Structures are given as C-alpha cells and as structure tokens.
Amino acid sequence: MDDFSQPGLANYYGYAPSPANFIKPFKRPMSSMSPILVTNSNGQVIFTAGGSGGSRIISSVAQVAIYNLWLGKSIRDAVDMPRLHQQLIPMEVELEKRFPVNVVHGLLAKGHTISGFRGGCVVQAIERRHSNELWAVSDARKGGAPDGLGYKNITKSFQNWFRRTFKRSKEQKLLEHEIKRGRSLTPR
C-alpha cells in the first residue's frame, strides 16, 4: 500500500503525500516506472533497461544508461557500478557503500548532506554489441539473473525462442495456403 500516498504520512522513501496519489476505489497507484529503449540511426534497438525500487528507479536506470552509452562501460559493469540518488526532499544525496571516497569528499566539500542508500533499486538491461550479439544482465543487488546466469549472451536463446514461438505448424501452413486460394473455411 506504500505505492499510494496517505494524508499526513511520508512514504518509505521520504516523499511527502501527494493528493493525486491518495487511495480511492478502483484507482491504481502512480508509478516511477521508467524503462529506456535506445535505437541507433537505423532504428535498431541497441540498449534497453528497466528497474524496480520506487523513487530510485529513474536515477538508477539513467545511471546505467550513462555508464554504458556515454562512458563505454559494458552492460555488466554499468549495472554493477555504485549508484547515488537525490530526490530534493529530503535534501540529501544517498550513496551506496561502494561509492568512491574522492566523490564523497567532493560532495561534502560542496555542502551536500550525505546518507546511505535506503532501500535498493535493481536494474535489468540488455545491450546489442557491434557484433550484433545481445547481452543481458540482471542486477545482483537482489540476486537477479537472466535465465539463471548473471551475465549472458542471449542472441542464440532469443533466436531459438523466436523460432519456437512463431513456428508455423503444417496445419497452419495448409490453412494459409487454402485461404490464399480463396477457399472459405468452416468449423468442423
């Protein structure tokens, strides 16, 4: 129920209640869900990511995208990098424990209040490599793994799934042939 706002109560992440998100019959709670799909100039998807973790979803997914697309980290390294989060209220920067000490000192020198990350966010992501291979990774912060592994080339798995899912049976091919010939089909 913490996905809804309640009058007078901040949520788990410290956000003040929002009247637009109060509990009402048949209402769904507002969501921070923010998946990303990035395409190249040919329209081919080269990166996709999504996450779970309340208000930390947006900052976590954005940081993974930045590490991978701008800084050239592999998808595994991008997901594994330590993260920070700042949501304006409360006015503090939350850091994961593994954050580089020099960055922490730099933030403190600029007057930021620092605290530990309350509640985690996990990110699932896929990148298309230059070799056209698809690589998937699930965040280890909550023990996730794509298809039983933490980092996997899913190109063959995807191709096999696609063939199995969209494989036409002999009967389907025969029906398509009959329809093309202009025959009407009636139920038996």
Would you place residue 173 in the very low, low, confident or very high pLDDT band (cuts 50, 70, 90)?
A: low
Query: Binding site, residues?
Result: 3, 31-32, 54
Q: What is the CA radius of gyration of the chain?
A: 23
Query: Residue 123: is its pLDDT beyond 80?
Result: yes
Which residues make up each annotated binding site for L-glutamate? 3, 31-32, 54
Q: What is the pTM for the complete model shown?
A: 0.70
Q: pLDDT per residue over 73-116, tens digit each?
A: 999 999 999 999 998 877 888 888 888 888 888 889 998 888 88
Start and end residues for every CATH 3.60.20.40 domain found in the chain: 31-180
**CATH 3.40.50.20 assigned to 31-180:** no
pLDDT of residue 146: 59
Preceding peptide of 100 cis, ω within 30°: no
Diameter of the chain by CA atoms? 79
More confident residue, 82 or 171: 82
